[in-house]
Structure 1
Amino acid sequence: MTDKPISRFPVPALKDLPEDIAARITTVQEKSGFIPNVFLVLAHRPDEFRAFMAYHDALMDKPGNITKAEREMIVVATSTANQCQYCVIAHGAILRVRAKNPLIADQVAINYRKADITPRQKAMIDFAMKVSAAAYEVGDADFDVLKSHGFDEEDIWDITAISAFFGMSNRLANVTSMRPNDEFYTLGRG
């Protein structure tokens, strides 16, 4: 374990947080066995923490045509492009768990085009990467490709929103120097 700070900004103590935020963090700790650093770093600003988590949950925890593992693939690939160590490591762990595959996160992070994923998933990530890097170029042809792989308009919105949301998250994590928890490195590998 490291003794380095998890953020360059102040990190509040759990006991000093508003009751609703402390309760959410405690629930996550009880479920996972540790507190992901993102919760403590973002709790520095309680109103923003609540808004961030509400949008995160709305995007990542919903049922639909895009599985929870595929949503994590989008996060891992776009976070790699944005050079966000925290999100690649943390969401890579979640991807391994949700996909029940100890190899997939590393493959997607290093080069999703060579990963053991389906053509549908590659098309999904291609689009997410375009949203992440050049959203101004998105056009009808991009929608046509996704629709040819069985994605509908709502799915395309989800892919777009996940890519955009994690673009913001990646920037916050990078500027705050948010460190991934050591626990994430081994989660879902054994």
Structure 2
Amino acid sequence: MTTDPAPTPISRFPVADPADLPPDLAERHAEVAEKSGFLPNVFAALAWRPEEERAFLGFHDALMDKDTPGLSTGERELIVVATSAANDCGYCVVAHGAIARIRTRDPILADLVAVDWRKAPLDERMRTVLDVAVRLATDPAAVTAGDLDRLRAHGLTEDDVWDVGAITAFFALSNRLAHFAAIPPNPEFHLMGRLPRQR
């Protein structure tokens, strides 16, 4: 006789009862779960500290939910994938790899970026973006004014250049919180964006 293994805990810290969430966070969780078909574990893991979850989501949305001249929403996700891989964050590589597959409409690019962005089929602009972002994630003191000029030379605006740094820095925080709390990626992420959606 076999038994199902115990479910992996969402966090090493308390997980809020969904019934006790403040109304704004309950509404956000419901919207995300309806759109995705599940609630990503990071939402459940952060909800026990509502003010911090609000701030986290606000900063996330300001950085990630926009297309600008130099960075599409898909390219923003690729920054997250590459830097999270450099930081060994399985949660963010898996979760944002799934979002990158959807936003780039490419079922394999995020996987290639996660394994080794230097060998992924990227144009020179995006290769430069990831070079600077990964260096900021792994050796921040090595990033120079010349690196910012390299981004500008590829057509990134001042806002885009800032966003490369801000996305990298924000997800360095996210990577470390995911490690610290041992947040596992939802199994649903693994299949997202790999096959065309059934109509």
TM class by smaller structure = over 0.9
Q: Aligned match of 1:64 in 65, 68, 73? A: 68
State the TM-score, normalizing by the size of structure 2. Answer: 0.92
Name the residue aligned to 2:46: 42
Partner Cα separation in structure 2 for residue 97 and residue 177 of structure 1: 25
Please report how far the alpha carbon of residue 18 of structure 1 lies from its aligned counterpart in structure 2 after TM superposition. Answer: 0.9
Cα deviation, 1:41-62, whole Å, max 9, x if unaligned, reads: 0101000000000000000012
Partner Cα separation in structure 1 for residue 191 and residue 122 of structure 2: 22
Name the residue aligned to 2:19: 15
Give the partner amino acid of 2:152: K
| More moved, 136-145 vs 170-179 | 136-145
1:113/1:2 CA distance change after superposition, 3 Å: farther
Give the partner amino acid of 1:17: L
Name the residue aligned to 1:185: 190
Structure having the higher Rg: 2
Give the partner amino acid of 2:182: S
SS in structure 1 of the partner of residue 56 of structure 2: helix
Give the partner amino acid of 1:120: R
Please report how far the alpha carbon of residue 85 of structure 1 lies from its aligned counterpart in structure 2 after TM superposition. Answer: 0.6
Aligned-pair identity (%): 51
Partner Cα separation in structure 1 for residue 127 and residue 91 of structure 2: 23
Q: Aligned match of 2:167 in 154, 162, 165? A: 162
Q: Aligned match of 2:82 in 71, 77, 83? A: 77
Partner Cα separation in structure 1 for residue 66 and residue 30 of structure 2: 22
Query: When the two structures are aligned, how many residues end up with a matched partner?
Result: 190
Partner Cα separation in structure 2 for residue 155 and residue 23 of structure 1: 31
Computed over aligned residues only, the root mean square deviation of the Cα atoms, in angstroms, reads 1.2
* 1:90-101 → structure 2 map (5 Å cutoff): 90-101=95-106
Partner Cα separation in structure 2 for residue 56 and residue 166 of structure 1: 9
- Structure 1 stretches of 4+ moved >4 Å: none
Partner Cα separation in structure 2 for residue 4 and residue 168 of structure 1: 23
Q: Aligned match of 1:144 in 140, 145, 149? A: 149
Structure 2 stretches lacking a partner, 5+ long: none
Please report how far the alpha carbon of residue 137 of structure 1 lies from its aligned counterpart in structure 2 after TM superposition. Answer: 2.3
Name the residue aligned to 1:24: 28
Give the partner amino acid of 1:85: G
Partner Cα separation in structure 2 for residue 124 and residue 7 of structure 1: 32
